[in-house]
Structures are given as C-alpha cells and as structure tokens.
Amino acid sequence: MRPDQTLKRLKTVEGHMRGVIRMVEEDSYCIDVIRQIQAIQSALNKVSGGILENHLNSCVTTAIQGDDAGERERVLKEIAEVFATATKV
C-alpha cells in the first residue's frame, strides 16, 4: 500500500471515529455503535496489513539480503514481536 493510500484510509477511519463519538454522545443504540467500532477495527487491520507488507518488501528484504547478521536477526525479531502482540488481543 502506497503512503498516499495509507493516509487516505487513516483519514477515513478518523472520520468514522468522529461518527462513533457522535453516536455515543447521542446515546445511539449500543449494537449500532459496536458495529461501527468493528468496521473501524477492520479498516485499521487492513491499514496495518498494508504497512506490514510494505515493511516486508522493503526493510526486511534489504536486511535479509544484506551482510549484517545482527540486522537480519533484529528485523526478524521485530516481525515475531508484532505477531506475538497481535495474538494477545
């Protein structure tokens, strides 16, 4: 995902967040609020996945192809930590 696409998606999420805040302020039906929050979470997951894909295709690929074993180990550890954190949710 290109940076401009990422920003566009994040700004869309921001707009949805403002909508959810307004719904809570207006005491909207709980299930409607939850559905909107789930839509926001899904959109953020797509953004996160796109950023991760870019990272794998740039930073990680560069580190793996490079001569610095420490750098290779560092980027692979970072990826493992991201996945570990994601599974804790």
Q: For 13-17, what is the mean pLDDT? A: 97
Q: What is the pTM of this model?
A: 0.82
User: Which is the CATH superfamily of the domain at 3-88?
Assistant: Metal-sensitive repressor, helix protomer (1.20.58.1000)
User: Would you say residue 89 has pLDDT above 70?
Assistant: no
Encoded tokens for 51? 């950023």
User: Would you say residue 38 has pLDDT above 80?
Assistant: yes
DSSP string, 15-55: HHHHHHHHHHHTT--HHHHHHHHHHHHHHHHHHHHHHHHHH
Higher pLDDT, 86 or 36: 36
* Phi, psi at 27, each rounded to 5°: 55, 45
Rounded-to-integer distance, Cα 28 and Cα 35, Å: 12
> Do the beta carbons of residue 50 and residue 30 sit within 8 Å?
no
pLDDT in tens, 25-37: 999 999 999 999 9
